[in-house]
Amino acid sequence: MGLLVEALRQPVVLAAIALSLSALYFYQSAAGPSTHGASGNLVQGAARESISARRRRKRNALKNNTDGAPTASSCCNSGSSPVGEATCCSNSTSTTAESASSCRKSDSAAVAAEDVGFDEEKTVTVKILYGTQTRTARTLAYRVKDLVETGVPLVKEALVLNIADYENEDLFTEKSPVIFMLSTYSGGTPTEDAAWFYTWLEDSRFDHRVESTAMRNLRFAVFGLGDSVYGDDFCTVAKQVDRYIADLAGNRICPLTFGDKQKDTEAQFVAWTTLLLSRLTGVVNHLSVADSMDFFEGGEGEFYESDSDAAGSEPETEELMDLEDMGAMAAKLKAAKKSKADGEEDLAARPPKVAKEMVTPMLRKSLEKQGYKIVGTHSGVKMCRWTKAMLRGRACANKCVFCWRQHTNPVGTEFRWKVDDPLLIVDGVMEQHYKMVKQLKGVPGVKADRFEEAFTIKHCALSLVGEPIMYPHINEFVEILHSRNVSSFLVTNAQFPEAIRSMRPVTQLYVSIDAGNKEDLKKIDRPLFSDYWERFNDCLRELGNKGQRTVYRLTLVKDGNDADVSEYADLIAMGNPSFVEVKGVTYCGFSGASKLTMKNVPYHHEVLSFCERLCASLAEKGKGKNYAIASVHEHSCSVLIADKDTYFKNGEWYTWIDYNRFFELVRAGKPFTAVDYMQKSPSWAVIGQGNGFDPNETRWFRKAKQDVSGEDAQR
Ligand SMILES: Cc1cc2nc3c(=O)[nH]c(=O)nc-3n(C[C@H](O)[C@H](O)[C@H](O)COP(=O)(O)O)c2cc1C
Ligand code: SF4
C-alpha cells in the first residue's frame, strides 16, 4: 500500500521488471489437521433439559472442579505427573491421543455424560494449536481439548492442530476461539513446527499493510511452556505470540499463563484450565447467541483485560458468569445488532478516528536500514542498483535484491493512513534521490558524465509490496511526474478494479500475476479480501478495457507456479495485455517468511521454454491476440512476450517507448493509446539478434573471466 518510488535512470522495458518476490511464499504442506480419536463428544440418547438448567448444573460441576478436582484432568493428577512429562495419565501407556481418551473415560467423564442430546445447540468449535519439540505441549493440548469438550457447554468440538498445519491468515477471520500451547527453546526461539507461524505473526504485527485491528474478532488464550532457569528467555515464544495478537486487537480469553518447569507445572496448568473453561463458557455463549455478529467490534485490545502481573503466576479463578447475566448480555447483543442494522448507532458517541501514519517508527528504521529515504508519512525513495551501476558505467549484472519483499504480503483493504500531499512526495523523493546521487561523488569508478546525467530524473517506478494505486491522490501524483517529464511505471497487485478503472494513463501499467488459479493465488499472495479471485479477474478485465500500455508480470518459481501454462493463457486472454514479462525468481537468501531455495530459481532456458509453451497455449486457444516472444534479457533471466498484432510492424518489433511522444500526448489532453508512443526496439534487444545486453555498455564481470551474463549467473 505504500508508495515507493524508485527513481530510475534508464529503464529498458526488460530492465525495469520489478520482481515481486514478496508475493512468493510457500507454506509447509497442509497435511490437514491432526484428528485424533478422542473427539467423540456426544453420547447419544440422554434426556433433554433446559439450557438454563444445564448451565446451572455445568456451573456447579465446574465449581467443583475449581474446588480441587479438575474435571477432566483429575485422572492425570492421580499419578501426580508433572506437566513436563509426555504422558498426562500416569496409568496410561498409550499414545497421547489415547491418553486423552482414557482421561475422558475416567471418572471425569461424568460431566461429558451429562452433556447429551444437545446437538443443535452445540455450534462452536474451539481450536487448540500447539508448538512442541518433545510433545509436552501436544499432550497438554489434548488435555485442554478433553476439558473443553466436556466442560464447556455449546462447544461442538475442540480441534487440536499442530500449529504448522494451521493456515495463519485464518486468524484474521477466525470464528473459533483459539488456544495456543507453545514451548520455548534455546535463546527464546520457537520449536521448529511453530517457527513459520512465529515469523508470520511478527511480520504481520509490524507490517504496515496489516490493519492494527486485524485480529479484533479473534478470541484467544496462550499457555506457554518453558523453564525459568533460562532467565530472560523464559517462555519468550508464548509471551511474544500473546503480545502480538493483542497488539493486533485480539481479545484475550484469559491472561497469558506459563507452565514453568521450576514450579509445580501441573498446578499451574490446572489453575489455568479452570479459569480458561470458565471464561470460555462465557465467550462460547456469546458466540452462539451473537452468531455471526461482530461481537467484539470496535474493541481494540482484550475482551478480558490482560493481567500482566498474573501472567506467569497463578491465574485467578473466577466465578462463572451467571445464567441471568448471560440472558441480559444476549438481550443487549441483540439490541445492539438491531440498532446497528437500523443505522441507529450513535456515531457521535464514538471518539473521532485519527488517521495514523503508515510508516511507524519501527518500519522507518527497517526501511532506512534497507537504504530507503522516507518522504512524508507513507512514501520512500531508494536508488536502484541499475542507477548505481550506470553511474559507474556498468550495466548491472547482478539481479536486484528487494529485501522488503521478504516480508509477508497480505494486501490491505483500504488506505487508512494519514494521506500526504502528492506534491510534497514528488518534491521529497526527488530531493532525496539527488542527495543519494551526490553521496556517490568521488566514489571510485563513477563517471563524470554519468554523474551529471543522474541529476535529471527521467523515470519513476511506483511499487512496493502493496498497492500504490490505493494512494488517494495517485492520479495527481503521476500528473506531477509527467509534468516534469518523468515517466511512470505503476505496479498493481490486481485487487482494486475500481482504482484501475479510474487510473489515468501512466507510461506503463503493470499487474503482478503471481499464480494461474485461485488456490495458488491465495497461497502465494495471501490476499486479505475474501473475494480476491473475483477482484483479480475484474482487474484483468479492467486492464483490458484501458487501451493503455499494459504488462502482466510473472515471476516464475521453479516447481512453484510454472506448471500450468494454460491457466496463464486464460488470464492473458482475459486482459489482453500489451506485454507479458516473465522473470525467473531471484533468490534473496533465507528468510523465515519465504521457503524459497536456490532450487526454485529457474535457469534462463527454463524461463524461455515456459514462455514458448505459453505462446503455444495462447495460439491453441485462439482466444486472445497473437502473442510471440519479442526479447530476452539473459542476465536478468527475463523474457518479454508481446502482442504481435500491435507491436510487430514490417518485420520489426516496436516494444520500446518513445517517452517524449508520451509526454506530448499527456499534455495534449486527448485520449491516446499505447500504439501512439511505441518505439522500435534496438536489434540487441530483439530475440535472435541479441541477448538484451546494450553493446554500448561495458559488460561487468563479477570475477575475472566469469561472464555473469551467461548461464552461471542465472543461479
Ligand atoms: C535444550 C532446551 C532448551 C530450552 N530453552 C528454553 C528457553 O530458552 N526458554 C524457556 O522458557 N524454556 C526452555 N526450555 C524448556 C522447554 O521449553 C520445556 O522443557 C518445555 O516444557 C518443552 O516443551 P515441549 O515438550 O512441548 O517441547 C528448553 C528446554 C531444552 C531441552
Ligand atoms: S536494476 Fe533492478 S531496481 Fe533497478 S531498474 Fe533494473 S530491475 Fe528495477
The lowest-confidence range among 331-345, 444-458, 595-609 is 331-345
State the fold for domain 52-120+124-290: Rossmann fold (3.40.50)
Any atom of ligand 2 within 6 Å of the Cβ of 615: no
The answer to whether the CB of 212 falls within 8 A of the CB of 244 is no
639/647 Cα distance (integer angstroms): 16
Residue among 5, 6, 400 whose CB has most ligand 2 atoms within 8 A, to mutate: 400
270 or 392, which is more confident?
Answer: 270
Superfamily (CATH H level) for 3-25+372-714: Aldolase class I (3.20.20.70)
Which bound ligand lies closest to the C-alpha atom of 268?
1
What pLDDT is attached to residue 509? 94
What are the Cα distances from residue 334, in Å, to 55, 85, 308, 644? 20, 46, 33, 61
Mutate to test the pocket of ligand 1, among 227, 239, 265 (most ligand atoms within 8 A of CB): 227
**Is pLDDT above 80 for 426?**
yes
Segment among 185-189, 243-247, 326-330, 353-357 with least mean pLDDT = 326-330
| CB distance 271 to 223 below 8 Å | no
Whether residue 74 is predicted with pLDDT greater than 70 in this model: the reply is no
pLDDT (0 to 100) of residue 127:
97
Best CA proximity match to 79, nearest among 266, 260, 263, 226: 266
Contact 127, 93 (CB under 8 A): no
pLDDT of residue 99 exceeding 50, the answer is no
- Confidence (pLDDT) at 438: 80
168-216: per-residue pLDDT in tens?
888 998 999 999 999 999 889 999 899 889 988 987 887 766 788 999 9
Q: Give 475-492 pLDDT, tens digit per residue.
A: 998 999 999 999 999 888
161 pLDDT above the threshold of 90: yes
**Averaging pLDDT over each range in 30-39, 345-354, 376-385, 427-436, which range is the top one?**
427-436
Residue 472 has pLDDT above 60, yes or no: yes
CA of 15 to the centre of ligand 2 (A): 6
Q: What's the confidence (pLDDT) of residue 259?
A: 95
To which residue does cell 503466576 refer? Answer: 313
Residue 431 Cα, ligand 2 centroid: separation in angstroms? 20
572 lines ligand 2 (CB under 6 A): no
The residue with greater pLDDT, 58 or 300, is 58
What DSSP state is assigned to residue 404?
A: G
| Helix residue ranges, H only, 359-473 | 361-369, 385-391, 422-438, 448-453
Residue of 608, 614, 610 whose CA lies nearest to 627: 614
Question: Measured between alpha carbons, how far is residue 393 from residues 284, 364, 368, 396, 449 in Å?
Answer: 67, 32, 26, 9, 9
Q: How confident is the model at residue 319 (pLDDT cuts 50, 70, 90)?
A: very low
Query: What is the model's pLDDT at position 318?
Result: 30
Residue 396 Cβ < 6 Å to ligand 2 = yes
Give the integer Cα–Cα distance in Å for 2 and 372.
13
Distance CA 582, CA 436 (A): 31
Domain ranges of the chain: 3-25+372-714, 52-120+124-290
- Ligand 1 and 659: CB distance under 6 A: no
Q: Is the pLDDT of residue 375 over 80?
A: no
**Per-residue confidence (pLDDT) for residue 174, from 0 to 100:** 92
In this structure, the dihedral spanned by the alpha carbons of residues 277, 278, 281 and 283, taken in order and rounded to 10 degrees, is -100
Q: Report CA 99 to chain centroid distance, whole Å.
A: 37
Q: Which residue's C-alpha cell is 493481567?
A: 307
**Amino acid symbol at 534:** E
CA dihedral 443, 449, 454, 456 (to 10 degrees): 160
For residue 234, the ligand 1 atom closest to its alpha carbon is: 11
Place of cell 456469546: 286
CA proximity to 503, closest of 533, 531, 470, 535: 470
Instruction: Give the CA radius of gyration of the chain.
Output: 30
Q: What is the mean pLDDT of residues 225-233?
A: 93
Whether 657 is in the pocket of ligand 2, judged by its Cβ within 6 Å, is no
Q: Which amino acid is at 119?
A: D
pLDDT at 18: 26
| Ligand 2 closest atom vs CA 461 | 8
DSSP 8-state assignment for residue 458: -
Tens digits of per-residue pLDDT, 491-526?
A: 887 888 998 999 999 999 998 888 899 888 777 766
How far, in Å, CA of 633 to CA of 11, rounded? 13
163 — pLDDT class (breaks 50, 70, 90): very high
For the segment 27-37, the average pLDDT, to the nearest whole number, is 22
Tell me which of 36-40, 126-130, 508-512 is least confident.
36-40
> What's the rounded Cα separation, in Å, for the pair 245 and 461?
34
With a 6 Å cutoff on the Cβ, whether 183 touches ligand 1 is yes
Q: Using DSSP, state whether 96 is helix, strand or coil.
A: helix
What phi, psi does 600 have (nearest 5°)?
-85, -5
| pLDDT over 70 (residue 156) | yes
629 Cα: distance to centroid of ligand 2 (angstroms): 21
Mean pLDDT within 346-357: 50
Question: Is the CB of residue 17 below 6 angstroms from any atom belonging to ligand 2?
Answer: yes
Per mean pLDDT, which range of 235-239, 268-272, 380-384 is the poorest?
380-384
Q: Is the CB of 225 under 6 A from ligand 1?
A: yes
Segment among 41-45, 234-238, 297-301 with least mean pLDDT: 41-45
* Structural contact between residues 103 and 143, judged by C-beta atoms closer than 8 angstroms: yes
Kindly give the distance from the C-alpha atom of residue 102 to the centroid of ligand 1, in angstroms, as a whole number.
Answer: 27
Q: Which ligand is nearest to the CA of 224?
A: 1
Report CA-CA distances (Å) from 635 to 178, 631, 708. 48, 12, 7
Q: Where are the strands (E) in 108-238, listed by range?
A: 124-131, 155-162, 178-185, 189-190, 219-226
8 A C-beta contact, residue 157 and residue 41: yes
Q: Band of the pLDDT at 695, cuts 50, 70, 90?
A: low
Instruction: Note the ligand closest to the C-alpha atom of 230.
Output: 1
Kindly report the protein residue whose alpha carbon is nearest to atom 3 of ligand 2.
384
Q: Is the beta carbon of 226 within 6 A of some atom in ligand 1?
A: yes
SS3 21: helix
Pair type for strands 678-679 and 656-657: antiparallel
Q: Ligand 1 pocket test: pick from 186, 239, 268 the residue with the most ligand atoms within 8 Å of its Cβ.
A: 186
Task: Tell me the pLDDT band of 357, cut-offs 50, 70 and 90.
Answer: low
In this prediction, residue 417 carries a pLDDT of 59
Residue type at 422 in one-letter notation: P
- Across 131-158, b (16+ Cβ under 10 Å) vs e yields bbbebbbbbbbbbbbbbbbbbbbbbbbb
- The grid coordinates of residue 420 equal 500526504
Q: Is the pLDDT of residue 271 over 60?
A: yes
Of the pLDDT bands very low, low, confident and very high (cuts 50, 70, 90), residue 288 is low
CA of 661 to the centre of ligand 2 (A): 23
pLDDT digit string, tens, across residues 539-559: 999 999 988 999 999 988 888
Ligand 2 and 18: CB distance under 6 A = yes
- What does the pLDDT read at residue 522? 74
- SS3 assignment, position 204: helix
234 lines ligand 1 (CB under 6 A): yes
Mean pLDDT, rounded, of the chain: 69
CB-ligand 1 contact for 84 (6 Å cutoff): yes
Q: Is the CB of 491 under 6 A from ligand 2?
A: no
Proportion of the chain in helix, strand, coil states, percent, rounded to 5:
40, 15, 45
Could you count the other beta carbons within 10 Å of the beta carbon of residue 111?
A: 23
Helix (H) or strand (E) run with residue 521 in it: helix 518-525
Q: Which ligand number lies closest to the CA of residue 510?
A: 2
**Closest ligand 1 atom, CA of 258?**
11
Ligand 1 pocket, residue 592 CB under 6 Å: no
Report how far residue 195's alpha carbon sits from residue 198's, in angstroms, rounded to the nearest whole number: 5
pLDDT > 70 fraction of the chain, expressed in percent and rounded: 58
**What length is written for the chain?**
715
Q: What are the φ/ψ torsions at residue 70 (nearest 5 degrees)?
A: -55, 135
What whole-number distance in Å separates Cα of residue 396 and Cα of residue 390? 7
Task: Tell me, yes or no, if the two domains 3-25+372-714 and 52-120+124-290 fold the same way.
Answer: no
Work out the average pLDDT over 382-404.
Answer: 38
- The finding on whether 395 has its CB within 6 A of some atom of ligand 2 is no
Tell me: pLDDT of 88 over 60: no
Within a 10 A sphere around the Cβ of 705, how many other Cβ atoms? 5
- For the CA of 130, the closest atom of ligand 1 is 26
Which ligand is closest to the CA of 226, given by its number?
Answer: 1
ipTM over 0.90: no
How high is the pLDDT of residue 643?
94
240-274 b/e (C-beta count within 10 Å ≥ 16 → b) = bbbbbbbbbbbbbbbbbbbbbbebebbebbbbbbb
Mean pLDDT calculated for residue range 629-635: 87
In order of 91, 635, 706, 707, the CA distances from 710 in angstroms are: 67, 7, 8, 6
pLDDT confidence of residue 122? 67
- pLDDT value at residue 51: 39
Q: What is the pLDDT of residues 528-542, one digit of tens each?
A: 677 889 989 999 999
Q: Which of the four pLDDT bands, split at 50, 70 and 90, describes residue 431?
A: confident
pLDDT of the residue at 592: 45
Between 61 and 1, the higher pLDDT residue = 61
Backbone angles phi, psi at 428, to 5 degrees: -65, -45
Report which secondary-structure segment, H or E, holds 300.
none
- Ligand closest to Cα of 238 equals 1
